[in-house]
Chains A and B, each alone.
Chain A
Amino acid sequence: MALYDLTIHEATDLMRRGDLSSVELTQAVLDRIVDVENQVQAYLTLAPELAMEQAREADARRARRADGEDSPLLGVPLAIKDVLCVEGLPCTCGSRSLEDFTPPYSATAVVRLRAVGCVILGKTNTDEFAMGSSTENSAFFTTHNPWDLTRVPGGSSGGSAAAVASGMAFGALGTDTGGSVRQPASLCGVVGVKASYGRVSRYGLVAFASSLDQIGPLARDVRDAATLLSVIAGHDPRDSTSMPAPVPDYVGALKAQGLNGIRVGVPREYFVSGVQPEVAEAVHAAIEVMRGLGAQVQEVSLPHTEDSLPVYYIIAPAEASANLARYDGVRYGLRVESPEGGMWETYRQTRGAGFGSEVKRRIMLGTYALSAGYYDAYYLKAQQVRTLIKADFDAAFREVDVVACPTAPTTAFKIGEKADDPLQMYLSDVFTLSCNLAGICGISLPCGFDNNGLPIGLQIMGPAFGEETLLRVAHTYEQATEWHTRKPQVPVEQVSGEEIT
């Protein structure tokens, strides 16, 4: 197997034994990027020189064995979604409005990864301000699914998912507001975790919908995802919505054998018409594997599942319309000045030119839902139904430890297929939204392939701060199957170093 296809724990084992250096590992990934990035287009910014410098630092740190150095991520090259600040690298959020923005500080999650010696390769493509399900809303380009280059990688963390799937990063950070880590993980055949709301600090994450946003890892197996989560999780005084709760040993939790004593709920509302038959079959088969491993399987009901889509598309745009009010062309970002029209016209021109059509659509929708006369009918109503969605999960988790269902109703769709119909696009998140609305944790992991050879994702959800059991169940299933070991065959077509930066 090629170096770039190793899991993080395999690469770390080799580096700990002295059989591999971070410089060699990083070079292998950079070479892979030269081979396939032109076809996949996962990165908005690549920082190869910086990455090699960090790799040399990591090798020196291992050689010194400072503090009895045993970080499982020392010298491991990762990719960061371009809505998270990395000091000194551009942070565009996939938007023209931030095309020239270079943050003067790093997000807490990034600081924590750097502190344990991770190497940062670059910033990955995203739908503009993380609003979308395909990366087609990126102002710059669309990322291609490594399993079929004519299809979307999912979104909004599509660049991160495609990079991990195609050997262009060993792991990545994404963000998940309504499924934006889990849905691209599903469509690209990798593992993606949305931790409980409050589990990971959002400091340095460009805000989209503040009551829903959560940073999460994408990786090639559950162990790697657990390792990444254990580093980025935990309280941060800079984010008052991060929970002051201790971080359990997520990797240690994976040692448990079998699923005896674990109760798996199957929510009937997630197996409805509109789900691609191969997806439903694969998920049912996965649930049978869990039963075979000792899990007790029972049907549960989450009656307000169907309401999660309208609730989400009121609450998230409402919060976005407030968060994106800051893009006024004064402190950072694009400014289109109107000397005659004055200040107000400058605001209008700046925002009209800087934002793409989906961002404008959501700002308009959210502004309307919050406006005088409509607040009660839309925003307040949506917040009340949100309470019911959360109550559904509270009731289900009194009966079962986790629920298992599809991550997305279909496998990867064609580029352009849903681009002109926002409602159809929104439906691709129908099974992931309620997890954010309820603030609970969820994971997507590979559980099969459809007749076109496209990966299918199994979603497992657990109660708030129930990541240990969630990861244990996912890992036990994964280790009993081989889906996660399949790799896409991306045609190699080299470009010169200058072209990819």
Chain B
Amino acid sequence: MKLSLAQVEHIAELARLSLTDEEKTRYQEQLSAILDYAEKLQAVDTSAIPPTATVLPLRNVMRADEPRDSMSREDVLANAPQVKADSFRVQAVLE
């Protein structure tokens, strides 16, 4: 199955990735080839097989909800590309 250019653009939009035209064409070819290869899984009978999301026997690991020390504001903001008023600076969400 070959992905259309429109599908590639739709996936890029879902993933919030800006792609050049050259990248779009390249990914169209490469993703189609990888998905063709993955088609072989359709031949495996999985009608009665549950999915595996994790191999561990652990479920819903809980801990006590107690206050404790956290990192300093200075440490938390140290890697932020833009800081304003001791906070992460973001652009307007609602125009």
A387, B79: Cβ atoms closer than 8 Å: no
B23, A310: Cβ atoms closer than 8 Å: no
The digit string for B43-86, where 1 denotes a CB below 8 A from any CB of A, is 01010011111111010010100000001000110111110000
Tell me which residues from 70 to 105 in chain A have a Cβ below 8 Å from any Cβ of chain B. 100-105
Chain B residues positioned under 8 Å from A51 (CB to CB): none
Partner of B90, one of A314, A343, A351, A386: A343
Q: Is B5 an interface residue (CB 8 A)?
A: no
With A310-B40, A365-B31: A384-B93 Cβ-Cβ less than 8 Å: no
Residue of B40, B42, B49 most packed against chain A (CB within 10 A): B49
A-B CB contacts (within 8 Å), total count? 166
A307, B51: Cβ atoms closer than 8 Å: no
Partner of B88, one of A310, A330, A423: A330
Chain B residues positioned under 8 Å from A491 (CB to CB): none
Query: Which A residues form the contact surface with B (CB < 8 A)?
Result: 100-105, 197-198, 211, 237, 240-241, 243, 304, 306-307, 309-311, 313-314, 321, 325, 328-335, 337, 342-349, 351-353, 355, 357, 360-361, 363-365, 367-368, 371, 377-378, 380-388, 390, 422-423, 426, 438-439, 464
B26 to chain A, nearest CB (A): 8
Chain B residues positioned under 8 Å from A348 (CB to CB): 16-18
Partner of B41, one of A243, A368, A381: A381
A-B CB contact pairs (8 Å), 15 listed = A211-B55, A243-B58, A306-B40, A342-B95, A348-B17, A351-B16, A364-B15, A367-B15, A378-B35, A381-B41, A383-B53, A384-B49, A388-B46, A423-B37, A439-B56
A379 to B21, CA, bound (A): 28
A334 to B81, CA, bound (A): 7
A349, B18: Cβ atoms closer than 8 Å: yes
B92, A343: Cβ atoms closer than 8 Å: yes
Partner of B78, one of A102, A307, A335, A377: A102
A464, B55: Cβ atoms closer than 8 Å: yes
Chain B residues positioned under 8 Å from A390 (CB to CB): 52, 55
With A240-B58, A343-B92, A348-B16: A388-B44 Cβ-Cβ less than 8 Å: yes
Chain A residues positioned under 8 Å from B34 (CB to CB): 313, 365, 422-423, 426
B4 to chain A, nearest CB (A): 12
Chain A residues positioned under 8 Å from B50 (CB to CB): 384, 387
A448 to B54, CA, bound (A): 36
Q: Is B25 an interface residue (CB 8 A)?
A: no
B74 to chain A, nearest CB (A): 9
B81, A329: Cβ atoms closer than 8 Å: yes
With A384-B50, A386-B52: A364-B18 Cβ-Cβ less than 8 Å: no
A335, B71: Cβ atoms closer than 8 Å: no
16 extra A-B contacts, CB within 8 A, seeds A197-B56, A198-B55, A364-B8: A102-B79, A103-B79, A197-B55, A198-B58, A240-B61, A241-B56, A310-B38, A330-B88, A331-B79, A332-B79, A342-B92, A346-B91, A357-B23, A364-B12, A384-B52, A385-B49
Label chain A's interface by main secondary structure. helix
A438 to B55, CA, bound (A): 7
Chain A residues positioned under 8 Å from B52 (CB to CB): 383-384, 386-387, 390
Which of chain B's residues has its CB closest to A332's CB? B79
A102 to B41, CA, bound (A): 41
Chain B residues positioned under 8 Å from A368 (CB to CB): 3, 7, 11, 31, 35
Which of chain B's residues has its CB closest to A329's CB? B81
A403 to B56, CA, bound (A): 21
A313, B38: Cβ atoms closer than 8 Å: yes
A334 to B18, CA, bound (A): 14
Partner of A198, one of B33, B40, B49, B56: B56
B80, A384: Cβ atoms closer than 8 Å: no
A305 to chain B, nearest CB (A): 12
With A211-B55, A335-B81, A390-B55: A364-B27 Cβ-Cβ less than 8 Å: yes
Of all A-B residue pairs in the complex, the 6 with the closest CB atoms, nearest first, are A439-B55, A383-B51, A352-B18, A335-B81, A384-B46, A332-B79
A342 to B49, CA, bound (A): 46
B14, A382: Cβ atoms closer than 8 Å: no
Residue of A325, A365, A382 most packed against chain B (CB within 10 A): A365
B71, A330: Cβ atoms closer than 8 Å: no
